[in-house]
Amino acid sequence: MSIRDGDFIDELRSTENSRIGLYVLLLAGIVFYLFPVETAVMTMFKTESAFARTLPFAPPGADGFTLEALSTAWNTLRPGLLNSLLMAIPATIMSALLGSLTAYGLTTISWRGQVGVVVLIIAGIFIPYQAVLVPLAQFWFQVFPGLVEGFVNTLFGFITGGSWQYPSRNGYVQLLQLSVTHAAYGIPICTLLFRSYYQSISEEMIEAARLDGASAFSIYRNIILPLSLPMFAVTLIYQFTQVYNDLLFALVLINEPASQVATQRLAALTGGVIQSFNTTMAGAIVAALPTLLVYIVFGEQFAKGVAGE
Amino acid sequence: MAQLTLDEVTKTFQDDDGEIVAVDQVSVDIEDGEFLCVVGPSGCGKSTTLRMIAGLEDITRGEIRLDGQIINDQPPARRNVAMVFQSYALYPHMTVRENMAFGLEESTDMPDDEINERVEKACKDMDIFELIDRKPGELSGGQQQRVALGRAIVRDPEVFLMDEPLANLDAKLKAEMRTELQELQQDLDVTTVYVTHDQTEAMTMSDRIAILNDGVLQQCATPLECYHEPNNLFVAGFIGEPSMNFFPTTLEGSTLKGEWFEYELSDETVAQVEGTTDITLGIRPEDIEFVQSDTGSNVFDSTVHVVEPRGNENTAHLQFNESMDDQFIATVGGMKQLKAGQRVKVRFPENAIHLFDTNSGQAIRNRTLDEIETVESVV
Contact B314, B336 (CB under 8 A): yes
H or E element in which residue B364 lies = strand B363-365
Q: Final residue of a domain: which of A15, A37, A66?
A: A66
**Greatest extent of chain B over all pairs of C-alpha atoms, in Å:** 78
Residues A19, A106, single domain; the answer is: no
The separation between the first and the last C-alpha atoms of chain A, rounded to the nearest angstrom, is: 46
B87, B91, B107 ranked by CB distance to A223: nearest: B91
Per the CB < 8 Å rule, is B93 touching A202? no
Residue A211: list chain B partners with CB under 8 A.
54-56, 76-77, 81-83, 103
Three-class secondary structure of residue B92 per DSSP? coil
Q: Chain A residue with minimal CA distance to B53? A: A211
Per the CB < 8 Å rule, is A210 touching B155? no
B82, B87, B91 ranked by CB distance to A211: nearest: B82
What angle separates helix A262-270 from helix A68-107, to the nearest 10 degrees? 140
Per the CB < 8 Å rule, is A212 touching B54? no
CB pairs under 8 A between A and B: 62
> What pLDDT was estimated at residue A160?
55
Phi, psi torsion values for B252, nearest 5 degrees = -130, 110
- Residue B375 inside a domain? The answer is no
Top residue of B58, B78, B81, B83 to mutate, by most chain A CBs within 10 Å, is B83
Per the CB < 8 Å rule, is B106 touching A212? yes
Q: What is the DSSP pairing of strand B245-252 with strand B216-221? A: unpaired
Three-class secondary structure of residue B146 per DSSP? helix
B272 to chain A, closest Cα gap in Å:
50
Residues B178, B261, single domain; the answer is: no
B255 to chain A, closest Cα gap in Å:
55
Percent of chain A with pLDDT over 70: 88
- Residue B324 inside a domain? The answer is yes
Contact B155, B118 (CB under 8 A): no
Q: Final residue of a domain: which of A66, A87, A103?
A: A66
The rounded distance, in Å, linking the Cα atoms of A234 and A87 is: 19
> What pLDDT was estimated at residue B325?
72
**Residue B164 Cα to chain centre, angstroms:** 11
Residues A36, A93, single domain; the answer is: no
Burial A18-41 (b: 16+ CB within 10 A, else e): eeeeeeeeeeeeeeeeeeeeeebe
A207 to chain B, closest Cα gap in Å:
7
Residues B182, B78, single domain; the answer is: yes
Contact A252, A137 (CB under 8 A): yes
Per the CB < 8 Å rule, is A211 touching B54? yes
Residues A46, A162, single domain; the answer is: no
Distances (CA, A) of B146 to A282, B37, B44, B220, B222: 61, 20, 28, 29, 27
Phi, psi torsion values for B36, nearest 5 degrees = -110, 125
Half-sphere exposure of residue B207: CA atoms within 13 angstroms, side-chain side: 16
Per the CB < 8 Å rule, is B91 touching A205? yes
Distances (CA, A) of B58 to B50, B53, B63, B75, B287: 11, 9, 11, 10, 45
Helices assigned H by DSSP within chain B: 46-54, 96-107, 112-125, 141-153, 171-188, 199-205, 223-228, 233-238, 267-273
- Residue B112 inside a domain? The answer is yes
- Residue B377 inside a domain? The answer is no
What angle separates helix B141-153 from helix B171-188, to the nearest 10 degrees? 10
Lowest mean pLDDT: which of A56-65, A201-210, B34-43, B250-259?
A56-65
Residues B66, B178, single domain; the answer is: yes
Q: Which of A66-80, A138-152, A156-170 has the highest mean pLDDT?
A: A66-80
Residues A60, A173, single domain; the answer is: no
Residue B85: list chain A partners with CB under 8 A.
204, 207-208
B200 to chain A, closest Cα gap in Å:
25
Residue B76: list chain A partners with CB under 8 A.
207, 210-211
Per the CB < 8 Å rule, is B82 touching A209? no
Q: Which domain holds residue A11?
A: 1-66
Average pLDDT over residues A196-209: 91
CB atoms within 10 A of CB B130: 10
> What pLDDT was estimated at residue A179?
92
- Residue B376 inside a domain? The answer is no
Q: Which domain holds residue B344?
A: 247-365
> Which strands form B328-333's sheet, in the order they lie side by side?
B289-291, B343-347, B299-309, B313-319, B328-333
Residues B271, B223, single domain; the answer is: no
Residues B61, B154, single domain; the answer is: yes
> What pLDDT was estimated at residue A1?
47
**Greatest extent of chain A over all pairs of C-alpha atoms, in Å:** 103
A17 to chain B, closest Cα gap in Å:
39
The rounded distance, in Å, linking the Cα atoms of A214 and A219 is: 6
Residue A223: list chain B partners with CB under 8 A.
91, 93
Residue A215: list chain B partners with CB under 8 A.
106
pLDDT bucket at A161, cuts 50 / 70 / 90: low
Helices assigned H by DSSP within A161-273: 171-199, 203-211, 216-219, 225-227, 229-245, 248-253, 262-270
pLDDT at A186 > cutoff 90: yes
B85, B103, B107 ranked by CB distance to A204: nearest: B85
Residues A89, A163, single domain; the answer is: yes
Q: Final residue of a domain: which of B236, B267, B298?
A: B236
Residue B91: list chain A partners with CB under 8 A.
205, 208-209, 222-223
> What pLDDT was estimated at residue B206?
92
Q: Looking at the 3D structure of chain B, how many domains does it have?
A: 2
B153 to chain A, closest Cα gap in Å:
12
The length of chain B is: 379
The rounded distance, in Å, linking the Cα atoms of B348 and B260 is: 14
The rounded distance, in Å, linking the Cα atoms of B90 and B335 is: 47
Residue A227: list chain B partners with CB under 8 A.
92-93
Residue B103: list chain A partners with CB under 8 A.
211-213
Find the CATH number of the domain harbouring A189.
1.10.3720.10
Distances (CA, A) of A47 to A138, A278, A280, A281: 45, 7, 12, 12
B103 to chain A, closest Cα gap in Å:
4
Residue A205: list chain B partners with CB under 8 A.
87, 89-91
Q: Identify the DSSP state of B42.
A: T
The separation between the first and the last C-alpha atoms of chain B, rounded to the nearest angstrom, is: 34
Q: Final residue of a domain: which of A11, A35, A66?
A: A66
ipTM for the complex? 0.83
Top residue of B14, B78, B91, B147 to mutate, by most chain A CBs within 10 Å, is B91
Three-class secondary structure of residue A153 per DSSP? helix
Find the CATH number of the domain harbouring B292.
2.40.50.140
H or E element in which residue B6 lies = strand B4-15
Residues B40, B189, single domain; the answer is: yes
Per the CB < 8 Å rule, is A223 touching B87? no
Q: Which residues of B touch A (CB under 8 A)?
A: 54-56, 75-77, 81-83, 85-87, 89-93, 102-103, 106-108, 151, 155
Residues B224, B260, single domain; the answer is: no
Top residue of B84, B102, B149 to mutate, by most chain A CBs within 10 Å, is B102
Asked if residue B242 has a cis previous peptide bond (ω within 30° of 0), the answer is yes
pLDDT at A168 > cutoff 70: no
Residues B262, B202, single domain; the answer is: no
Three-class secondary structure of residue B65 per DSSP? strand
pLDDT at A157 > cutoff 70: no
Residues B298, B265, single domain; the answer is: yes
Residues A39, A171, single domain; the answer is: no
- What dihedral do alpha carbons A101, A102, A107, A113 form, nearest 10°? 150
Residues B149, B254, single domain; the answer is: no
Residues B227, B251, single domain; the answer is: no
Distances (CA, A) of A79 to A44, A84, A127, A286, B164: 20, 9, 31, 12, 63
The rounded distance, in Å, linking the Cα atoms of B281 and B257 is: 10
Per the CB < 8 Å rule, is A227 touching B103? no
Top residue of A212, A220, A227 to mutate, by most chain B CBs within 10 Å, is A212
Per the CB < 8 Å rule, is A218 touching B85? no
Find the CATH number of the domain harbouring B178.
3.40.50.300
B81, B92, B108 ranked by CB distance to A211: nearest: B81
Residues A99, A175, single domain; the answer is: yes
Q: Final residue of a domain: which of B236, B259, B274?
A: B236
Contact B283, B305 (CB under 8 A): no
Residues A16, A103, single domain; the answer is: no
B77, B87, B93 ranked by CB distance to A202: nearest: B87
- Please give the full DSSP string across A254-295, using - where no structure is assigned: ---GGG--HHHHHHHHH-SSS--HHHHHHHHHHHHHHHHHHH
Residues A55, A184, single domain; the answer is: no
Residues A34, A87, single domain; the answer is: no
Residues A97, A182, single domain; the answer is: yes
Beta bridge partners of B83: B161
Q: Which residues of A touch B (CB under 8 A)?
A: 202, 204-205, 207-215, 218, 222-223, 226-227
pLDDT bucket at A56, cuts 50 / 70 / 90: confident
Contact B260, B326 (CB under 8 A): yes
pLDDT at A170 > cutoff 80: no
pLDDT digits (tens, 9 = 90+) for A243-281: 999 999 999 988 888 888 999 988 888 766 567 888 888
Residues B164, B138, single domain; the answer is: yes
Q: What is the DSSP pairing of strand B255-257 with strand B245-252? A: antiparallel
The rounded distance, in Å, linking the Cα atoms of B233 and B265 is: 20
Q: Looking at the 3D structure of chain A, how many domains does it have?
A: 2
- Residue B66 inside a domain? The answer is yes
**pLDDT tens for chain B, residues 1 to 379:** 689 999 999 999 988 888 889 999 999 999 999 999 999 999 899 999 999 999 999 999 999 999 989 999 998 888 889 999 999 999 999 999 999 999 999 988 899 999 999 999 999 988 899 999 999 999 998 999 999 999 999 988 999 999 999 988 898 999 999 999 999 898 889 999 999 999 999 999 999 999 999 999 999 999 999 999 999 999 999 999 899 999 999 999 889 998 888 899 988 888 888 888 899 999 999 999 998 887 777 888 899 999 999 888 999 999 988 766 778 999 988 888 888 888 999 999 999 999 999 999 999 999 888 777 788 888 7
Prediction pTM value: 0.79
B173 to chain A, closest Cα gap in Å:
23
pLDDT at A167 > cutoff 60: no
Give A160 or A60, the one with higher predicted confidence: A60
A218 to chain B, closest Cα gap in Å:
8
Q: Final residue of a domain: which of B205, B236, B267?
A: B236
Residues A52, A107, single domain; the answer is: no
A207, A212, A227 ranked by CB distance to B103: nearest: A212
